[in-house]
């Protein structure tokens, strides 16, 4: 009896139409939510993209600037200028007979100078691995959810 | 029933309305997402722009990190003349062109004609200067702004710095011309050589227009040093920000050269060439234990910052195609006697005290060979043969070896082959062998004392390293390391053969140490044990034969003899003060050794023995 009543209720033409309409609304709402999420993520990507473009411009500017500074340092410390300044200060190259060697026990005079440009020899540490650069929509939703749920952890 | 139908119709109407509304919103979202309003872009109508990454060419540094070749930011200055014409600002165009000509010193005929032409043809952007320095650009902008503000133009004080060679703008920030309408300045990088002429024969240069390395290290390692300043079409779309080009800097190259020693050696060579009225010359300083070239001077040299200057045309583009005399082949003369004697001692055909009666001449293959003074020297040992540099004696020594063995040794010493030094334009030299079609037996005699063969100074240094290094011949190298993206590659020391035994090397070193005491006192440095040999070679003039009035003078020496730490080769070409190697090349050796023992911290033998004990 009860089963036949439920069947009669759900199979009534009005209920069936309401279900269809409800499903359509539900689909629209879900699509709208997804689109809103997409727009939020998209806006974030745009923002990060702009930052990236700006960062690249700044990198270029820094390269030009660093090249200028290095060039200036090289010009100011060039051999010709250094020699001239040394001469002005009264220095001159020594001759072998003017050099006094003092034997120091344990000192190896043949030790070769350690040739290494610290700046160049060190592996470059450049963070090109920005999260936003590789993050998918699902990753982002996951991260946002975890941020949202963080206050409720431990309750 | 009717009421139900009415309700259904209403529901359907509402559903359709909301569906359309939602679809319209979604459609608009998609449209905004996929289409671009080009009028709102930074350059209306364009979806992007050409972008060039600021990639620098790799640096060339000396062994102590001193920059020998760097980069400099310069600007391409463009003026949009079309917009001036469109606005009818003819006077402005004239003034702007005059300022550009004056400040940038424009001497390009076509550009000058264009800038002075009246009425000027309608042309859009004109690049008035492609390589404007910071200083020049600031002056140009200053004068343009002065003009626009109706102020009388005042030139910048160019002598604000102590040295006019040093560009000293007020600041080194990258100049932005965006505030000036119709004038744009685009920064880019060009090669810069802070040391001007120092080691220029080693470095070479980079063509400003093509950015291609020419000569020396710049040419040999062009692809390694090259900074890929690739130009890409970068979209304004921030989603595609990753498409903008990233800088791809070239690798840095560290040379084995010590720039302070290099400067000293160059100074010594230049002064000596001037003093002796010589044509050209070269000095190489090598560590025979590692093959590292510590200095390689060549004269004449060019200021590679101005390689296009008329002053340097003959140095860079001469008919003999010689930019670096250290890698040019020439007839070296008696320095080759060292190697002839090394071969004979190693083969066991002579001993240091083998006696030879010098009669002043010897006939080999129908050609009579005489001594440098055309006189007989009587009874000699092999040591005195070297000491007195007797052609007759050494020609006889070569005949004891016979052609096959003699040329086999010369082959082992690397003559007629490239040494592999990392420099562009190395000559292989020319050494015949007994199976060459045009070989005559007389050449065995002349080759024994360094005539009739062509050898480069760097080949001689490599060959002599076998004697200085107890029979182990080391490949000379000028690259210490290559550093790229945080990784460093250091080529290892390369032993390229054992042409003679350690015993032969020791014996010959003792003979040369002894003979040097008497042969060339001008080469001796008090307190240091040195071995060496002078060389004087007549120069062959086509159609006239060998002329004794024009010679190549050479000297090769190394020390300290018990623990060789340096090997020096000197070549002075066509000196006019004297024709002898003992008077021209030997003093250069002495001066170079005096400087390098201090610079390398090599104490005199007496002190060194104390330290070693």
Q: Do B486 and A124 touch (CB under 8 A)?
A: yes
User: Which residue do the tokens 């009425």 mark?
Assistant: B119
Which of the pair, A13 or B269, is modelled with greater confidence? B269
Tell which residue, B578, B527, B531, has the closest CA to residue B272.
B578
B266 at the A interface (CB within 8 A)?
no
What would the two tokens of residue B56 be?
């620098």
For residue A116, name the pLDDT band (cuts at 50, 70, 90): low
Report yes or no: B76 and B183 within 8 Å, Cβ to Cβ. no
Interatomic CA distance for residues B194 and B62, integer angstroms: 13
Interatomic CA distance for residues B72 and B309, integer angstroms: 19
Closest CB from A31, A74, A96 relative to B67: A74
Interatomic CA distance for residues B433 and B594, integer angstroms: 39
pLDDT at B41: 64
Best residue of B244, B270, B565, B599 to probe chain A, by most A CBs closer than 10 Å: B244
Those residues whose C-beta lies under 8 Å from the C-beta of residue B353, and which sit 6 or more positions away, are B381, B382, B383
- pTM of the predicted model as reported, rounded to 2 decimal places: 0.80
**Highest mean pLDDT (candidates B102-111, B170-179, B496-505):** B496-505
Please write the tens of the pLDDT for every residue from A122-152.
444 444 455 666 677 788 888 888 888 887 7
Backbone angles phi, psi at B522, to 5 degrees: -70, -15
Name the least confident of A26-30, B282-286, B355-359, B398-402.
Answer: A26-30
Q: What is the mean pLDDT of residues B407-413?
A: 93
Q: What kind and span of H or E run contains B347?
A: helix B337-347
For residue B293, name the pLDDT band (cuts at 50, 70, 90): very high
The dihedral built from the CA positions of residue A58, A61, A63 and A69, taken in this order, carries a sign that is: negative
Tell which residue, B326, B66, B62, B310, has the closest CA to residue B215.
B326
Q: What is the mean pLDDT of residues B396-410?
A: 91
Task: Give the domain ranges of chain B.
Answer: 56-60+69-192, 259-612
Question: For chain B, what is the mean pLDDT?
Answer: 84
Q: What is the mean pLDDT of residues A40-44?
A: 81
Q: What topology does CATH give the domain B259-612?
A: Beta-lactamase (3.40.710)
Q: What kind and span of H or E run contains B216?
A: helix B216-220
Chain A closest CA to B73's CA: distance in Å? 6
The dihedral built from the CA positions of residue B467, B468, B470 and B472, taken in this order, carries a sign that is: negative
Report yes or no: B531 and B543 within 8 Å, Cβ to Cβ. no
From chain B, the residues in CB contact with A31 under 8 A are 22, 26
Name the least confident of B29-38, B439-448, B554-563, B597-606.
Answer: B29-38
Q: What is the mean pLDDT of residues B303-320?
A: 81
Q: Given a cut of 90, is residue B507 above it in pLDDT?
A: yes
Residues 274-313 of chain B whose Cβ lies under 8 A from any Cβ of chain A? none
For residue B39, name the pLDDT band (cuts at 50, 70, 90): low
Q: Chain B residue with minimal CA distance to A52?
A: B241
Q: Residue B519: exposed, middle, or buried by beta-carbon count in 10 A (0-12, 13-18, 19+)? A: buried
B529 at the A interface (CB within 8 A)?
no
For residue B273, name the pLDDT band (cuts at 50, 70, 90): very high
Q: Chain B residue with minimal CA distance to A46?
A: B238
Q: What is the mean pLDDT of residues B238-266?
A: 85
Those residues whose C-beta lies under 8 Å from the C-beta of residue B515, and which sit 6 or more positions away, are B383, B384, B386, B387, B533
Q: Do B526 and A96 touch (CB under 8 A)?
A: yes
Q: Given a cut of 60, is residue B270 above it in pLDDT?
A: yes
């Amino acid at each position: 009896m009860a089963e036949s009543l439920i069947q009669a209720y759900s199979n009534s033409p009005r209920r069936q139409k309401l279900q269809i309409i409800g499903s359509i609304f539900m689909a629209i709402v879900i699509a709208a939510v997804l689109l809103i999420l997409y727009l939020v993520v998209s806006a974030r990507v745009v923002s990060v993209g702009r930052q990236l473009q700006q960062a690249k411009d700044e990198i270029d500017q820094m390269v030009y600037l660093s090249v200028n500074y290095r060039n200036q340092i090289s010009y100011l410390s060039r051999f010709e200028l250094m020699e001239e300044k040394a001469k002005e200060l009264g220095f001159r190259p020594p001759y072998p007979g003017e050099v006094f060697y003092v034997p120091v026990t344990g000192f190896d005079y043949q030790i070769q100078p350690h040739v290494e440009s610290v700046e160049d020899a060190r592996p470059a540490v450049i963070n090109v691995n920005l999260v936003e650069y590789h993050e998918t929509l699902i990753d982002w939703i996951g991260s946002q959810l975890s941020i949202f749920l963080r206050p409720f952890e431990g309750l | 029933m009717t009421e139900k139908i009415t309700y259904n119709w209403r529901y359907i109407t509402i559903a359709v309305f909301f569906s359309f509304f939602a679809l319209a919103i979604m459609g608009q979202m998609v449209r905004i997402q996929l289409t671009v309003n080009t009028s709102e872009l930074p350059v209306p109508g364009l979806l992007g722009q050409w972008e060039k990454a600021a990639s620098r060419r790799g640096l060339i540094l000396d062994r102590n990190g001193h920059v020998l070749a760097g980069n400099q930011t310069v600007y391409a200055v463009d003026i949009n003349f079309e917009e001036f014409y469109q606005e009818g600002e003819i006077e402005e165009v004239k003034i702007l062109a005059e300022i550009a000509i004056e400040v940038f010193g424009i001497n390009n005929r076509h550009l000058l004609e264009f800038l002075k032409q009246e009425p000027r043809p309608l042309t859009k952007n004109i690049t008035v200067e492609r390589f404007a320095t910071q200083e020049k650009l600031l002056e140009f902008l200053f004068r343009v702004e002065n003009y626009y503000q109706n102020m009388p133009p005042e030139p910048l004080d160019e002598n604000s710095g102590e040295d006019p060679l040093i560009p000293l703008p007020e600041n080194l920030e990258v100049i932005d011309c965006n505030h000036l309408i119709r004038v744009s300045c685009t920064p880019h990088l060009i090669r810069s050589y802070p040391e001007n002429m120092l080691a220029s024969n080693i470095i070479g240069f980079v063509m400003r227009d093509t950015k291609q390395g020419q000569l020396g290290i710049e040419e040999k390692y062009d692809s390694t040093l090259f900074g890929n300043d690739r130009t890409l079409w970068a979209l304004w779309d921030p989603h595609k920000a990753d498409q903008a080009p990233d800088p791809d800097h070239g690798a840095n190259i560290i040379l084995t050269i010590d720039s302070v020693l290099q400067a000293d050696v160059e100074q010594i060579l230049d002064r000596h060439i001037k003093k002796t009225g010589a044509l050209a010359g070269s000095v190489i300083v090598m560590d025979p234990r590692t093959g590292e070239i510590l200095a390689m001077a060549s004269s004449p040299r060019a200021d590679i910052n101005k390689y296009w200057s008329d002053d340097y045309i003959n140095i860079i583009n001469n008919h003999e195609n010689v930019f670096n005399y250290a890698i040019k082949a020439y007839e070296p003369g008696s320095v080759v006697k060292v190697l002839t004697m090394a071969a004979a001692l190693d083969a066991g055909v002579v001993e240091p005290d083998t006696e030879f009666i010098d009669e002043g001449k010897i006939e080999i293959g129908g050609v009579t060979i005489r001594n440098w003074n055309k006189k007989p020297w009587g009874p000699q040992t092999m040591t005195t043969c070297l000491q007195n540099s007797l052609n007759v004696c050494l020609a006889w020594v070569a005949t004891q070896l016979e052609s096959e063995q003699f040329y086999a040794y010369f082959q082992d010493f690397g003559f007629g082959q490239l040494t592999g030094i990392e420099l562009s334009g190395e000559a292989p030299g020319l050494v015949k062998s007994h199976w060459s079609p045009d070989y005559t037996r007389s050449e065995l005699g002349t080759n024994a004392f360094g005539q009739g063969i062509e050898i480069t100074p760097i080949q001689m240094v490599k060959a002599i390293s076998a004697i200085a290094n107890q029979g182990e011949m080391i490949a000379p190298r000028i690259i210490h390391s290559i550093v790229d993206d945080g990784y460093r590659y250091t080529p290892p020391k390369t032993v390229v053969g054992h042409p003679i035994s350690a015993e032969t090397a020791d014996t010959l070193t003792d003979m040369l140490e002894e003979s040097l005491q008497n042969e060339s006192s001008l080469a001796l440095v008090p307190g240091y044990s040195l071995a060496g040999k002078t060389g004087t070679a007549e120069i062959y003039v086509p159609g006239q034969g060998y002329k004794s009035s024009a010679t190549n003078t050479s000297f090769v020496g190394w020390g300290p003899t018990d623990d060789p730490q340096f090997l020096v080769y000197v070549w002075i070409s066509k000196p006019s003060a004297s024709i002898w190697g003992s008077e021209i090349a030997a003093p250069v050796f002495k001066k170079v050794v005096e400087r390098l023992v201090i610079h390398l911290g090599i104490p005199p033998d007496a002190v060194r023995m104390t330290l070693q004990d």
